[in-house]
Amino acid sequence: MDFSLSEEQNMIYDYGQSLVKSYDRKYWMECADAGRFPEEMYKQVAADGFVGTMVPEAYGGAGLGLLEMDLFLEGLSNQGIPLLSLVIGATMSMAPIGDHGTEEQKQKYLPDACSGKTRFCFAITESGAGTNTIQATTIAKQTPDGRFKLSGNKTFITDFVESDYALVVARTTPHTEVERKTDGFTLFIVDTKAKGVAANKIPVSIPIPEIQYEVFFDDVDLGPEHVLGEVGKGFNILFESLNPERVLVGSICTGIGRYAMERAVEYANDRVVFNGPIGAYQALQHPLAKAKTEIELASLMTRKAAWLFDRGEACGGESNMAKYAAAEAALHAVDASLQCFGGNGFTKEYGIFDIYPMVRLFKTAPLNSEMILNYIGEYVLGLPRSY
Ligand SMILES: Cc1cc2nc3c(=O)[nH]c(=O)nc-3n(C[C@H](O)[C@H](O)[C@H](O)COP(=O)(O)OP(=O)(O)OC[C@H]3O[C@@H](n4cnc5c(N)ncnc54)[C@H](O)[C@@H]3O)c2cc1C
């Protein structure tokens, strides 16, 4: 068994260290506080070739795998930059276009997206369906001329307005008329500025630069050129991108957990209130040591899941376990870190509490921990389905 990384993979993992010389956590938080996307940083990341990590070289990408994307996001998050839009845009949207798009779609969308000129978001969640995506009712009705009219609404769509295109999951056949409940869904590439599209901001209490939107589609005109893959088979493509999404959320969690811990270690080695630095107190040291152990274990699992994915092997169990473990580990890391900082942990200056809401989000979204455990219970352990 070989755990070593290639020279290229090590460079990808270390890339965050050079990026933060120009765009650091302070810049990231300024963008979050101003409610604006970190455009300059994103353009730099794109120019350095990382937005298109998983896109074939023929379309402007690097033609690398999920393991490289995992290393890139983990390394960036180690520096306090959890670039969520690369999970939603690059992995959930651009990679499926690379895998399932027509030649025209690949030419039209991928080079510009890889260069950072355009951006993608991903729209699946509906308020009426929630976790039970099968109940989604947004529908694209086929018209006699072979086109579609998209109507319905989506919620919590990250960066919808800031993105140029959204990959939208819609029904093309109502659920009452399909044989299998996952049939009848189609993926559409929708121009976010198209006629009939409207969006409202959903203010959330998470200090991140990405903005969330409720989105409405009112008879949006779409043609066959907007369909990704086969009509009615959108769920097959969707399923392919769920494991990468879980792995990469895990990568972000392990990185941001390390970032919080490293800040705490610096502080705890320095801060003296009785005799010697507070880092000597086992009450502070042991939670940090436990969190460090959990983070490194979770990191191993994200890398294993990514490695399996890149080899075309089943990785559902590993991806779910990686996401679950990493989300828990990151929460423990931030909590242990916060305790070291005492009152300072809650200040804007030290910024430790600011990390907590995002890390906590990952217990709920993109897939809540209960559904992750349901998956592990059912598919890994072989227990009966609970819902
Ligand atoms: C900041 C943010 C960004 C997001 N970005 C996007 C995006 O870009 N695109 C997108 O499509 N969606 C996005 N989402 C939506 C997110 O994926 C959903 O919020 C999430 O899937 C949960 O759906 P829900 O909020 O309707 O919760 P519900 O379905 O109402 O579930 C509520 C709770 O019930 C429990 N639960 C539900 N079902 C089960 C079950 N079977 N067994 C046990 N417990 C269960 C879980 O604890 C869950 O947290 C985002 C959400 C947030 C908050």
Q: Check: pTM over 0.85? Answer yes or no.
A: yes
8-state DSSP, 150: E
**Domains located in the chain, CATH noted:** 7-118 (1.10.540.10), 121-230 (2.40.110.10), 236-380 (1.20.140.10)
Which ligand 1 atom lies nearest to the CA of residue 130?
26
Mutating to test ligand 1, I would choose from 131, 241, 373 the residue with most ligand atoms within 8 A of its C-beta, which is: 131
8-state DSSP, 82: -
In the block, tokens 């993109």 appear at 366
Give the distance from CA 308 to its chain's centroid: 19
At 368 the pLDDT is 96
Which ligand 1 atom lies nearest to the CA of residue 367?
21
Burial pattern 209-225, b for ≥16 Cβ within 10 A else e, equals: bbbbbbbbbeebebeee
What string of pLDDT tens digits covers the 387 residues of the chain?
Answer: 889 999 999 999 999 999 999 999 999 999 999 999 999 999 999 999 999 999 999 999 999 999 999 999 999 999 999 999 889 888 889 999 999 999 999 999 999 999 999 999 999 999 999 999 999 999 999 999 999 999 999 999 999 999 999 999 999 998 888 999 899 999 999 999 999 999 999 999 999 999 999 999 999 999 999 999 999 999 999 999 999 999 999 999 999 999 999 999 999 999 999 999 999 999 999 999 999 999 999 999 999 999 999 999 999 999 999 999 999 999 999 999 999 999 999 999 999 999 999 999 999 999 999 999 999 999 999 999 999
244 C-alpha to center of ligand 1: Å? 18
| Contact yes or no for 52/229 (Cβ under 8 A) | no
Rounded distance between C-alpha atoms, residue 65 and residue 6, angstroms: 13
Q: Is 212 in the pocket of ligand 1 (CB under 6 A)?
A: yes
Q: Is 125 in the pocket of ligand 1 (CB under 6 A)?
A: yes
Q: Is 124 in the pocket of ligand 1 (CB under 6 A)?
A: yes
Q: Is 138 in the pocket of ligand 1 (CB under 6 A)?
A: no
Q: Is 122 in the pocket of ligand 1 (CB under 6 A)?
A: yes
| Contact yes or no for 90/115 (Cβ under 8 A) | no
The SS3 call for residue 32 is: helix
Residue-wise DSSP of 194-216 = STTEEEEEE--S---S--EEEEE
Residue whose CA lies nearest to ligand 1 atom number 35: 370
Cα–Cα nearest to 128, from 118, 138, 119, 120: 138
Residue whose CA lies nearest to ligand 1 atom number 25: 130
242 C-alpha to center of ligand 1: Å? 14
At 91 the pLDDT is 86
106 C-alpha to center of ligand 1: Å? 31
Rounded distance between C-alpha atoms, residue 20 and residue 8, angstroms: 19
| CB neighbour class for 373 (10 Å; exposed up to 12, middle 13-18, buried from 19) | middle
Residue whose CA lies nearest to ligand 1 atom number 26: 130
Helices 39-47 and 7-22: crossing angle in degrees, nearest 10, is 150
* Residue 375 CA: distances (Å) to CA of 134, 227, 245, 293, 368: 16, 30, 15, 24, 11
Cα–Cα nearest to 326, from 276, 285, 367: 367
Q: Is 130 in the pocket of ligand 1 (CB under 6 A)?
A: yes
